[in-house]
Structure 1
Amino acid sequence: MNETTGPTPDQRTRVAVVFGGRSTEHAISCVTAGSVLTALDRDKYDVIPIGIAADGRWVLEADDPERLRISSPQELPAVDAGRAGVTLARTETGAGLVVSEPSSPPRELGDVDVVLPLLHGPWGEDGTLQGMLEMAGVRYVGAGVLASAVSMDKAYMKVVLADAGLPVMPSFIVTAREWATDRDAALTRVEPLGYPLFVKPARGGSSIGIGKAHDRDGLTVAIEEALRHDPKVLVEVSAEGAREIECGVLESLDGGVETSVPAEIRISGDHEFYDFEAKYLPEEHTELDVPARLPDDVATRMRELAAEAFRAVGCEGLARVDFFLLPDGRLVVNELNTMPGFTPLSMFPRMWAASGLEYGALVDRLLQLALQRGTGLR
């Protein structure tokens, strides 16, 4: 169990909001952090913003949500790597923050009660940060080490979900080593899946590095692009004609699991799929139906499958489960996100708002869940 005692009743809970990171989703993590920093109740929480720069340095960031907003693909926010460095150090009572600046002695900021890790992608959402926090003995929001790692790796996630009896799209993995040694064999192995095919970095997100291939030449280009982001690439059957629908999952304070109303993403115009611009930049070609227009029995079944996927992977706190509703009526689990985006356009908070849990209360729920849960094996 966590050795950190937590705040006393007359103290504000000290929350370290960690964002940025080394992955290609650095900017989206910053945007998520800006939204959460705005929503946190400062009468209840003492907030310490910690940025992880693209090169991996930890810094004490400014508590300035406006700087973390996104306006265009050319103006993405980033952690200011020039700010004072910060480390999380083990103390007698738990884990504390130490700030280091050139020509100044280190100064302590005091113990941290809970960490809110708002990192997306590898080196943050994949169990690496969670493992460090476990070693430091500090509570944190969201899934533990194994659930984070499995959910981040789409290939292993499919294995776990399929073993639990959940429906997934057929797929193959192509590695950088295989591509470098015998790309023809790799192409010949995956092509029987049938075109069109989707190609994804196995451990990516925010639609970065994803491509759709309609023939062998397109498949080659898509694999090479995905390999620029991850040495492990997932090639899977395209769910042609499917509706993309998502469902939020949230733990309740009594240990149960709740699901939100499902929501649908509809893409038109020049977007062949839900790419980066469609996700994060407001425009006329993206429409979100919250809640999704579904028959009651389909919505009910989707919520049941979302809860099953959450349990199968061993998630905690929260997750967003993405589905394909195929033209023949079948539901297929596309993927599971253990730290879904909290940007103004993000589906997770929208779905919970439509389910009766507003943004600020949602963030508060996540922190309360983390505070009542210890660290260690669970």
Structure 2
Amino acid sequence: MSKIRVGIVFGGKSAEHEVSLQSAKNIVDAIDREKYEVILLGVDKAGKWHVSDSSTYLENEDDPKTIRLNKTNQQVAVIPGQTRDQLLNVASESLLEQVDVIFPIVHGTLGEDGSLQGLLRTLNMPFVGTDLLGSAISMDKDIAKRLLREAKINVAKGLTFKKHQQKDISFDQVKAELGLPLFIKPANQGSSVGVSKVENEESFHAGLSEAFLFDHKVLVEEAVVGREIECAVLGNEHPIASLPGEILPQTDFYSYESKYIDETGAKLAAPAEMPEEQTSRVQAAAINVYQTLECEGMARVDFFMKEDGSLVVNEVNTIPGFTKISMYPRLWGISGISYPDLIDRLINLAFERYERNNQLQSNVSHQ
């Protein structure tokens, strides 16, 4: 039986580029080579796609601070409308061998926001993870929270501002509405990129300037006091939820450094210590959030659990980290699904959705 050819798309024109490199490495190391043949498609910071060799695709691969994509002269172009052979090696002007399914592991901008998913839909290629709509919704924290509020799901109280409003944003008015401390974050970023904790007016304006470097829209949110609980969700029409985990930051908050650079920046309790009834509530809430935001394939749902046990949704990540200290694969590991089996299930879910979509009619019959 021939192997399934999996195209792993990683890197990207994103502030989370280096995180994606780490995630790709862990997937490449864990995937079942008896069943799958891996095609590495590295996207550099300029947005160019490269066919990468599995033995040389990364530089400084064991150092999260200096890890880099090893660019090649084998750049890739895409050919929409083909039933097969959608990828072209520009240098040799030859088609790549058929890729059966894409595993996108590009975190953040142009990878997690629906852009890449839209391209893959145009190419009519099966791909792992949430489709275009759910990706775009979940990436935009402002839009996601509007939909969650509409569904009567608790989210942190906050305000949204656009770049052109920056000079008119009043610290005193925001403080009166949200109190202190508060958090400022870009609406369309992940991994705590551009996030600031604000204690006073000086840090407020500095936080706004930092967040607006990464997006044209920012959220200013109240600080929610509670345990940081994360739950992994897996599936299409009938998703399942993992045992919850808990983030125990060893710094002021769970920053980018704590997540991906400093292995001592946070302790990860997996599973989280809580009664069985609370575990069931977290799992049910995670699936509810997942379905409300039109997620499929996979996502990690992050909550704050307040002292009274109530849950407040923080955010949803549709391409969660797959690094060696990431919660998504770790939570499935403690829930009975190994890393290779998780990859296998995600690929099967991609094919399942692809077949479902292909059953839809694209022609109108006239009787």
Residue 3 of structure 1: aligned partner: none
Q: Distance in 1 between matches of 2:325 and 2:294?
A: 27
Contact 1:61 1:83 in 2 (8 A): no
Q: Distance in 1 between matches of 2:200 and 2:262?
A: 31
Deviation, structure 1 residue 67? 4.0
Contact 2:58 2:69 in 1 (8 A): no
Deviation, structure 1 residue 172? 0.7
2:54 partner amino acid: D
Q: Distance in 2 between matches of 1:92 and 1:144?
A: 20
Deviation, structure 1 residue 300? 1.0
Deviation, structure 1 residue 116? 0.4
2:247 aligns with one of 262, 265, 289 = 265
Distance 1:343 1:94, change over 3 A: same
1:57 aligns with one of 48, 60, 71 = 48
Residues 272-291 of structure 1 mapped to structure 2, 5 A cutoff = 272-291=252-271
2:132 partner amino acid: V
Residue 9 of structure 2: aligned partner: 18
Contact 1:151 1:157 in 2 (8 A): yes
**Is 2:212 the partner of 1:227?**
yes
Cα distance per residue 1:216-253 (max 9 Å; x no partner): 2211111111111112111100113x11010010017x
Q: Distance in 2 between matches of 1:24 and 1:155?
A: 19
Residue aligned with 2:292, SS: helix
Residue 203 of structure 2: aligned partner: 218
Contact 2:76 2:89 in 1 (8 A): yes
Distance 1:359 1:67, change over 3 A: farther
Deviation, structure 1 residue 376? 6.7
Residue 4 of structure 1: aligned partner: none
Structure 1, gaps ≥5 residues long: 1-9
Contact 2:86 2:123 in 1 (8 A): no
Contact 1:265 1:288 in 2 (8 A): yes
Contact 1:262 1:351 in 2 (8 A): yes
Structure 2, gaps ≥5 residues long: 361-367
1:246 partner amino acid: E
Residue aligned with 2:79, SS: strand
Q: Distance in 2 between matches of 1:128 and 1:265?
A: 30
Deviation, structure 1 residue 98? 1.2
Residues 109-188 of structure 1 mapped to structure 2, 5 A cutoff = 109-180=96-167, 182-184=168-170, 187-188=171-172
Deviation, structure 1 residue 110? 2.1
2:304 aligns with one of 291, 312, 324 = 324
Q: Distance in 2 between matches of 1:194 and 1:95?
A: 56
Q: Distance in 2 between matches of 1:352 and 1:90?
A: 35
Q: Distance in 2 between matches of 1:328 and 1:248?
A: 23
Q: Under a length normalisation based on structure 2, what TM-score does the superposition of the two structures give?
A: 0.92
Residue 5 of structure 1: aligned partner: none
Contact 2:258 2:264 in 1 (8 A): no
Deviation, structure 1 residue 87? 1.7
Q: Distance in 2 between matches of 1:66 and 1:112?
A: 21
Contact 1:227 1:233 in 2 (8 A): yes
Contact 2:263 2:325 in 1 (8 A): no
Residue 7 of structure 1: aligned partner: none
Q: Distance in 2 between matches of 1:54 and 1:107?
A: 24
1:71 aligns with one of 63, 67, 72 = 63
Residue 295 of structure 1: aligned partner: 275
Deviation, structure 1 residue 189? 4.3
1:122 partner amino acid: T
Q: Distance in 2 between matches of 1:361 and 1:250?
A: 12
Let me know the Cα RMSD of the aligned residues: 1.8
Q: Distance in 1 between matches of 2:58 and 2:121?
A: 32
Contact 1:15 1:47 in 2 (8 A): yes
Distance 1:35 1:233, change over 3 A: same
Residue aligned with 2:148, SS: helix
**Identity over the aligned pairs, expressed in percent?**
38
Deviation, structure 1 residue 328? 3.0
Deviates more, 1:220-229 or 1:277-286: 277-286
Distance 1:283 1:130, change over 3 A: closer
Q: Distance in 1 between matches of 2:43 and 2:63?
A: 21
Q: Distance in 2 between matches of 1:285 and 1:110?
A: 43
Q: Distance in 2 between matches of 1:52 and 1:340?
A: 18
Residue aligned with 1:139, SS: coil
Deviation, structure 1 residue 193? 0.9
Deviation, structure 1 residue 94? 2.9
**Is 2:82 the partner of 1:89?**
no
1:262 partner amino acid: P
2:191 partner amino acid: S
Deviation, structure 1 residue 305? 0.3
Residue 357 of structure 1: aligned partner: 337
